[in-house]
Amino acid sequence: MLEDSQQSRTKLSELGEFGLIDLLTKNLQSKLPSTIKGIGDDAAVLEFKNKQILVTTDFLLEGVHFDLSYMPLKHLGYKAVMVNLSDVYAMNGTATQITVGIAVSNRFPVEALEELYEGIELAAKIYNIDVVGGDTSSSDKGLLISITAIGMAEKKDVVYRSGAKPNDLLVVTGDLGAAYMGLNILKREKEVFKANPNSQPDLDVYTYLIERQLKPEARKDIPPLFKTLGVKPTSMIDISDGLSSEIIHLCKSSKVGANLFEEKIPLDPSVISACEEFELDSTTIALSGGEDYELLFTIAQQDFDKIKANPHFTVIGHMTEENEGMHLITRANTKIPLIARGWNAMKEEEN
Amino acid sequence: MLEDSQQSRTKLSELGEFGLIDLLTKNLQSKLPSTIKGIGDDAAVLEFKNKQILVTTDFLLEGVHFDLSYMPLKHLGYKAVMVNLSDVYAMNGTATQITVGIAVSNRFPVEALEELYEGIELAAKIYNIDVVGGDTSSSDKGLLISITAIGMAEKKDVVYRSGAKPNDLLVVTGDLGAAYMGLNILKREKEVFKANPNSQPDLDVYTYLIERQLKPEARKDIPPLFKTLGVKPTSMIDISDGLSSEIIHLCKSSKVGANLFEEKIPLDPSVISACEEFELDSTTIALSGGEDYELLFTIAQQDFDKIKANPHFTVIGHMTEENEGMHLITRANTKIPLIARGWNAMKEEEN
């Protein structure tokens, strides 16, 4: 689709780098008091009085992290921002600015990049962040996006991965596995479409799953909710690679073990039915599917009353002494060691 | 060279992402007081009391920005850091932290990435910055590096591109064109080597040029020198794309014109002799060669006495009213409009 040479398409080379940056960033007006100078100089200038600053970077690469045959560019731009903001919220901070690096091959018309930037702008608007800089480059193949997010927090509010203690409760926001099942559905539809380009898929029943894959939302609401509830997690991480891998991160950083209860893992009914349809085990999907961008955190037992009535939170286990290890307690009450099966694109590449 | 499958080489897939990050970052100990938490959480945590924060991002892509057949990986890592720090110094700031995003295809053994990181570490050590985070990913082709640099400055010290006034003096640090001539020499040697792999090139005479290409140094020394001299530039930019393109940036941001005097452009003698050898015009090379990473700035006329004796600085022209335009005054005293011929990788790709 993107490689069509329709007459209304503008070649990248007609604009050059500076023209392209001007075009893409013309709608990006800085709005936050902490943004002193955004795009247009050697560096952005920010100012935070007596706050700690949070910085995080993520790459998204065509062919590795996304497939443009089912990922519309506007959604891709939006998602690229979410992936990064999620890391800031996982520190219990407020995201404030991003820089955007984009490298593209000439196969993309300017209009494609404008679509990508529309998604970035939409995310910036909804999440109240400023786009303060970036780099635009040509690539000899495909599309790459690198986003750096900057955020802030009061020193006393920052939550690291390393503060969990034995007996702390393990809690997750939202539900898990939907983004991965959304991806499975999109992949299947792509195959169906290849076989029969006239097929009219009815994807209504999968709306939630597809949205979780194509337009995930980072949990901006959670840090202020903690404030309202008077809770400070002892450790926190965002779920980008799958629950299992993230629990292992928290345990290793905090030098504790964990028991995760299979029956407690929050699953949307549409995930359960899609797993049945695809003959997949829903627990495995929640453990290893990834891209949920929910927050996983631990709290002291005495804080349980503060969160127990809240529909955003599900207690899924508890931390233990380090030497007890990390386990999944199945519905049949068997204890299985947790293994990380999240990110393994490097291994997949070999197959 | 890199694609050899020697037995001592470790495949990326043997380590996985987390193992790779652990390996690459094990020597990166945070040393600055402003680095509260470096690598190992969702985001880095920094703290600057009452300072303005500078943020800048740059991409380096194999096949676009570098060619591994003559760019050793250690130098590439070093240069990738320099490119970013240079932007911080161009704001008259102090660089403090970087995040490093790397995407690589499986064609690279782990040892290659260790070399790349050695260069990054060396730069971090020499320039006194902390590596506080990043992202490692697989790519389906080639090597990509994305670096974000963070710096700081007192509010009163920050220099933007936009402050130049008519009659301000236009000044450049160091000398120009050497990096581009270094690239020409490396390209020629590559062709010679292809034709005759046994050739033993004698590159001693080109040492300065090749060093400027392979191991450029960002001008960390200049912001403190301004402080010592009691000078604050009215505008500043770093020379990454070539003098001509950067003068145009300063003029457009500051809404002024400029006269640049050809006879004043600082050239190392080795640039002049290499230009003769390659039958290239040395002025053109200084104007459009790029990758010099020197600083270009303007100062008020009354500050001239403060800088005139300093060997780091050369006054190369002056700013004018905007409607007078941007011109090169040649040795023959002709006035030629300045044109930007810096970055044009997108155009080159089409040829």
Express each pLDDT in B76-120 by its tens digit.
999 999 999 999 999 999 999 999 989 888 888 888 888 999 999
Neighbouring residues of B89: CB distance < 8 A, sequence distance ≥ 6: B95, B218, B219, B220, B222, B223, B238, B295
Letter for the amino acid at A151? G
- CATH number of the domain encompassing residue B221: 3.90.650.10
Of B52, B58, B350, the CB nearest to A135: B58
Same domain flag for A216 and A334: yes
How many residues can be counted in chain B?
351
Same domain flag for B127 and B215: no
The secondary element (H helix, E strand) that includes residue A82 is helix A73-89
Neighbouring residues of A204: CB distance < 8 A, sequence distance ≥ 6: none
Of B13, B20, B59, the CB nearest to A146: B59
Q: Do B138 and A345 touch (CB under 8 A)?
A: yes
Q: Which residues of B touch A145 (CB under 8 A)?
A: none
Q: Do A140 and B40 touch (CB under 8 A)?
A: no
- Closest-CA distance, B317 to chain A, in angstroms, reads 22
From the number of C-beta atoms within 10 Å of its C-beta (0-12, 13-18, 19+), residue A182 rates as buried
- Closest-CA distance, B173 to chain A, in angstroms, reads 17
pLDDT at A52 over 70: yes
- Closest-CA distance, A99 to chain B, in angstroms, reads 7
Nearest by Cα to B20 from B31, B8, B35, B10: B10
Q: Domain end: B89, B124, B157, which one?
A: B157
Q: Which two tokens stand for residue B238?
A: 């770093």
Same domain flag for A301 and A192: yes
Q: DSSP state, A152? A: E
Q: How many CB pairs under 8 A join A and B?
A: 251
Q: Which two tokens stand for residue B172?
A: 């450049």
Instruction: Tell me whether B219 touches chain A (CB under 8 Å).
Output: no
The alpha carbon dihedral of A339, A345, A348, A349 has a sign of: negative
**Computed over its alpha carbons, how large is the radius of gyration of chain A?**
21
Same domain flag for B117 and B218: no
Predicted pLDDT of residue B194: 83
Same domain flag for B131 and B231: no
Mutate to test the interface with B, among A49, A51, A53 (most CBs of B within 10 A): A53
**Average pLDDT across chain A, whole number:** 89
Express each pLDDT in A112-166 by its tens digit.
888 999 999 999 999 999 998 878 888 877 899 999 999 999 999 999 999 999 9
Q: Which two tokens stand for residue A270?
A: 């549409």
How many domains does chain B fold into?
A: 2
- Closest-CA distance, A328 to chain B, in angstroms, reads 22
Nearest by Cα to A282 from A292, A268, A294, A272: A272
Predicted pLDDT of residue A1: 39
Instruction: Tell me whether A279 touches chain B (CB under 8 Å).
Output: no
Q: Is residue B128 in some structural domain?
A: yes
Same domain flag for B288 and B344: yes
Cα–Cα dist A308/A339, whole Å:
28
Predicted pLDDT of residue B348: 37
Q: Domain end: A157, A183, A207, which one?
A: A157
A128: left (phi over 0), alpha (psi -120 to 50) or beta: left
pTM for this entry? 0.88
Of A51, A58, A138, the CB nearest to B346: A138
Of A55, A106, A134, the CB nearest to B350: A106
Instruction: Tell me whether B22 touches chain A (CB under 8 Å).
Output: no
Predicted pLDDT of residue B351: 30
- CATH number of the domain encompassing residue A68: 3.30.1330.10
Instruction: Tell me whether A10 touches chain B (CB under 8 Å).
Output: no
Q: Which residues of A touch B61 (CB under 8 A)?
A: 103, 137-140, 144
Spell B194-212 as b/e; 16+ CB within 10 A means b: eeeeeeeeeeeebebbbeb
Q: Is residue B1 in some structural domain?
A: no
Percent of chain A with pLDDT over 90: 64
Q: How confident is the model at residue A341 (pLDDT cuts 50, 70, 90)?
A: low
Express each pLDDT in A185-202 by its tens digit.
999 988 888 888 877 777
Q: Domain end: A122, A157, A192, which one?
A: A157
Instruction: Tell me whether A139 touches chain B (CB under 8 Å).
Output: yes
Q: Is residue A164 in some structural domain?
A: no
Nearest by Cα to B242 from B297, B284, B298: B284
Same domain flag for A178 and A115: no
Predicted pLDDT of residue B8: 67
Q: Is residue A1 in some structural domain?
A: no
Q: Do A139 and B61 touch (CB under 8 A)?
A: yes
Q: Do B40 and A161 touch (CB under 8 A)?
A: yes
Q: How confident is the model at residue A11 (pLDDT cuts 50, 70, 90)?
A: confident
Express each pLDDT in A245-269 by its tens digit.
999 999 999 999 999 999 999 999 9
Instruction: Tell me whether B132 touches chain A (CB under 8 Å).
Output: yes
Q: Is residue B164 in some structural domain?
A: no
Cα–Cα dist B20/B41, whole Å:
16
**For residue A291, what are the CA distances in angstroms to A102, A180, A182, A241?**
21, 7, 10, 6
Letter for the amino acid at A225? L
Express each pLDDT in B273-323 by its tens digit.
999 999 999 999 999 999 999 999 999 999 999 999 899 999 999 999 999
Same domain flag for A127 and A178: no
Q: Which residues of B touch A146 (CB under 8 A)?
A: 57, 59, 101, 135, 146
Spell A56-82 as b/e; 16+ CB within 10 A means b: bbbbbbbbbbbebebbebbbbbbbbbb
Same domain flag for A151 and A178: no
Predicted pLDDT of residue B124: 93
Residue A198 phi, psi (nearest 5)? -90, 0
Same domain flag for A221 and A334: yes
Cα–Cα dist A34/A46, whole Å:
5
Of B16, B99, B236, the CB nearest to A55: B99
Q: Do A61 and B158 touch (CB under 8 A)?
A: no
Same domain flag for B341 and B240: yes
Same domain flag for A39 and A135: yes
Predicted pLDDT of residue B5: 44
Mutate to test the interface with B, among A66, A113, A146, A156 (most CBs of B within 10 A): A146
Q: Is A184 helix (H, G, I), strand (E, B) or coil?
A: helix
Spell B155-168 as b/e; 16+ CB within 10 A means b: eebbbbbbbbeeeb
Neighbours of A49 (CB within 10 A): 10
Q: Is residue B163 in some structural domain?
A: no
Q: Which residues of B touch A18 (CB under 8 A)?
A: 340, 343
Predicted pLDDT of residue B48: 85
Q: Is residue B3 in some structural domain?
A: no
Interface of A with B in 84-123 (CB under 8 A): 86-88, 90-91, 93, 97, 99-101, 103, 105-106
Q: Is residue A4 in some structural domain?
A: no
Q: DSSP state, A66? A: B
Neighbouring residues of A107: CB distance < 8 A, sequence distance ≥ 6: A2, A3
Q: Which two tokens stand for residue A225?
A: 């909710």
Predicted pLDDT of residue B341: 64
- Structural contact between residues A344 and A244, judged by C-beta atoms closer than 8 angstroms: no
Provide the residue-wise pLDDT of chain B in tens; the chain has 351 residues: 344 444 467 777 777 766 777 777 777 778 888 888 887 788 888 888 888 999 998 889 888 889 998 899 999 999 999 999 999 999 999 999 999 989 888 888 888 888 999 999 999 999 999 998 878 888 877 899 999 999 999 999 999 999 999 999 999 999 999 999 999 999 998 888 888 887 777 778 899 999 999 999 999 999 999 999 999 999 999 999 899 999 999 999 999 999 999 999 999 999 999 999 999 999 999 999 999 999 999 999 999 999 998 999 999 999 999 999 999 999 999 999 998 764 443 333 333
The domain of A335 spans 169-350
